[in-house]
Amino acid sequence: MLTRSHWICTLAVAISWATGLGGWAHGDERSDPLLDRFNRGSHSVTAFEDVIVVPMDSKRVLPHQTVIIRSGRIFAMGRTGEIDIPEGAERIDGRDKYLVPGLVDMHFHLFPADGGTDPESVDHALALLVANGVTSARSTLGSPNHLEIRDRIRTGKTFGPTLYLASPPLHSKETPTPARVRELVYQYKTDGFDLIKLVLKDRTDYDSAVVAAREVGLPIFGHVGAAIGIEHALEVGQSIEHLDGYVRVVEEDLKRLAGLVRATRRANVWNCPTQFFHECLYSRDLAKVGSYAGVSLVRQSVRDEWNRQKTEAIGKHADKEAELATRRRIIKALRDGGVRLLVGSDSPGDFRVPGFAMVEEMRSLHRAGMTPYEVLDSATRLPADYFSALREFGTVEVGKRADLILLNANPLQDIDAVLDQAGVMLRGAWLPRSVLDDAAKRHAAALF
């Protein structure tokens, strides 16, 4: 049996495919203005002049900085006036603006090729991520065609963030023996997946996957079935989605929360709570879900269908406010206990528009009691650490990949500032707000 949240999560994705079928626009990839702009921009030289840098290496801001970008990397950074701006560089006025690392959506669904889905929907979703400052994403439900999508992005044929790919999920039903599980883990490593996704209910299968993943050097993450149990998942170091395992234990006995937090910290286990996904799913307020960021860009007929399904769900299901409060309590306790949390949108889905949903998750985590700095840390530096790629991205430092967002306000004071973007830099290519707004409109209308 799958865990409840997995079932819901999978169902939500399935519904969004079903409601979207036949409705996707067919754009011409070759004339994609974002891709053209990216391919021109990624090789150019850009200077952010007199900008306030929020480096995210610690809780500080660096005023009056000039940052030079060259060949997709942060080439130089220092006090304005002390840094030479190369001739021919595109100059961006950074006065009173904040330069922060690009965001990483740690729970994102690339559509599978065999899902009966228009492959162009993938392009729409990827564009929406970048249009909201998401410059890297972890795909959490693998499919063989994702390897090709990642290659197309790497080679400039598809516009999109840097992708980290989970393997196809290991289910007990489809992987009947521990030997088969082991074989698949080795296969996924050879194929080129970055992580092993676990949805195994059988303990022997699960342990076989854990050992094999360790042998091939791939991290494991995913759901925690009842037969596995949170304690065992912590023991083997699986990183955990949706607070699986915690909610049930804490609902039964609140006194066990402190012990669970300590065990999680001791095991150094990562958590991706996907709180916004649960708020969205459990909300009984049509006006509220309709006001989530990005939803107004979705076609009216699709929104009507979302509303119809939401109304039906409200009639069928019990109030889940208590569970949402428990989740908030767990998030806060984990954070205060030094556990590393990640920001994941669990999009696309009903009322969850890629990219916009990432910012909504940041707001949700803030409402759960995390400070703006902690939330931003969970969306930038910590994911890079998760992928053992801190030398590559995650902070604003010389040598790192030029994945950046220019904000009109200070995100350390108000997390909503993350929505107020003057522009995004994707691997060295500058995309100003007007371009992003246009892209968000087009792709949100076409995706669903």
Task: Summarize as ranges the residues that interact with Zn ion (CB under 5 A).
Answer: 9, 346
CA distance 189 to 220: 12
Shorter beta-carbon distance to Zn ion: residue 132 or 345: 345
Angstrom distances, CA of residue 413 to CA of 54, 260, 367? 12, 31, 14
CA–centroid distance for 319 within its chain: 27
CB 196 within 8 A of CB 167: yes
DSSP result, 71-92:
TTEEEEEEETTTSPPPTTPEEE
DSSP result, 166-200:
BPSPEETTT--SHHHHHHHHHHHHHHT-SBEEEE-
Shorter beta-carbon distance to Zn ion: residue 297 or 357: 357
**Among 137, 93, 128, 61, which residue's Cα sits nearest to residue 411?**
61
**Among 175, 194, 131, 167, which residue's Cα sits nearest to residue 423?**
131
CB 142 within 8 A of CB 165: yes
Shorter beta-carbon distance to Zn ion: residue 106 or 422: 106
Shorter beta-carbon distance to Zn ion: residue 351 or 430: 351
Tokens encoding 159: 């516009």
Shorter beta-carbon distance to Zn ion: residue 138 or 381: 138
Shorter beta-carbon distance to Zn ion: residue 49 or 346: 346
**Among 141, 159, 87, which residue's Cα sits nearest to residue 427?**
159
| Shortest distance, position 344 Cβ to Zn ion, whole Å | 8
Tokens encoding 369: 């009691």
| Shortest distance, position 121 Cβ to Zn ion, whole Å | 16
Name the burial class of residue 83, with classes exposed (0-12), middle (13-18) and buried (19+) by CB atoms within 10 angstroms of its CB: middle
Shorter beta-carbon distance to Zn ion: residue 101 or 112: 112
| Shortest distance, position 9 Cβ to Zn ion, whole Å | 4
| Shortest distance, position 398 Cβ to Zn ion, whole Å | 36
| Long-range own/partner contacts, residues 82-89 (CB < 8 A, 24 or more apart) | 85/47, 85/49, 86/45, 86/47, 88/45, 89/44, 89/45, 89/46, 89/47
Shorter beta-carbon distance to Zn ion: residue 205 or 346: 346
CA–centroid distance for 335 within its chain: 18
CA distance 44 to 109: 31
| Shortest distance, position 395 Cβ to Zn ion, whole Å | 27
**Among 142, 137, 148, which residue's Cα sits nearest to residue 188?**
142
CA distance 285 to 363: 18
| Shortest distance, position 281 Cβ to Zn ion, whole Å | 11
CB 412 within 8 A of CB 59: yes
Shorter beta-carbon distance to Zn ion: residue 9 or 359: 9
Tokens encoding 244: 């699986």
| Shortest distance, position 17 Cβ to Zn ion, whole Å | 13
Shorter beta-carbon distance to Zn ion: residue 32 or 361: 361
| Shortest distance, position 331 Cβ to Zn ion, whole Å | 17
Shorter beta-carbon distance to Zn ion: residue 140 or 378: 140
| Shortest distance, position 348 Cβ to Zn ion, whole Å | 10
- Mapped onto helix, strand or coil, the DSSP state of residue 29 is helix
User: What's the chain's Rg over C-alpha atoms?
Assistant: 21
| Shortest distance, position 93 Cβ to Zn ion, whole Å | 39
| Shortest distance, position 387 Cβ to Zn ion, whole Å | 18
